[in-house]
Amino acid sequence: MSLLVVEDELRVRAFIARGLGEEGFLVRECADGAEADALLRAERFELVLLDWMLPGLPGLELLKAMRARQDVTPVVMLTARDAVADRVAALNAGADDYLVKPFAFEELLARVRAVTRRASQRVTTRLSYADLVLDPVSRKVLRAGVELSLTAREFSLLQFLLEHAGEVVSRTRIVQAVWEHDFETFSNVVEVYIRYLRAKVDEPFGARLIHTVRGVGYVLRSAP
């Protein structure tokens, strides 16, 4: 399994790379955000360990650029920034996990294994409901034959709703499946992303598929 460690502190980078190498991972190292961006455009990695404060391009901006071009490579942020606002910003930008320095190597290893395991278990077959089609492999979404442009997080949310089409799913289940973290951290993030999805999936077509079940959650269905 190939991992990219993007960290400008040599001592920390060497510590992580050596430890993961001893566990059998193929580790590439990079100390600059812009160089890491070029590497990610040229090669495929199964996980990125990404520092926030980097020369060339900050880690958060690199993460946003990856998700904007539909690069779904799992990303674990490794940073000394421990404020709740920083965690929320990184997770909303598309990070799959967030670990604050200093950390125990055993915890880092456990999180790397957990994130890569979840990524490998994601559905790889095409999903459809009514005139809506989502292809996890090509990352394309079509409604009534029209291709929709979704962010990485919107895509994950719509994929979860399609996997449970016709079933009412709670906000807690959505957060745990799409953001893979505890609900308390996220306040109204589900409502915000549902609104984003409706603007792209429902409103242009004049027929609602995403419904709110008041006090419970959301359901994807064609009937009102």
Instruction: Show the tokens assigned to 127.
Output: 């999903």
Cross-strand pairs, 169: 218
User: C-alpha distances in angstroms, 41 versus 35, 46, 115, 120, 160?
Assistant: 10, 13, 21, 21, 27
User: What's the pLDDT tens digit per position in 72-120?
Assistant: 889 999 999 989 899 889 988 889 899 999 999 999 999 999 888 877 6
Instruction: State residue 136's pLDDT score.
Output: 80
Cα 135 versus chain centre, distance? 17
Residue with tokens 């690199």: 62
User: What's the pLDDT tens digit per position in 143-194?
Assistant: 999 999 988 789 889 998 998 899 898 888 888 778 755 555 556 888 999 9
Distance CA(146)–CA(118), nearest Å, equals: 30
Distance CA(46)–CA(72), nearest Å, equals: 10
> What global pTM score does this model have?
0.58
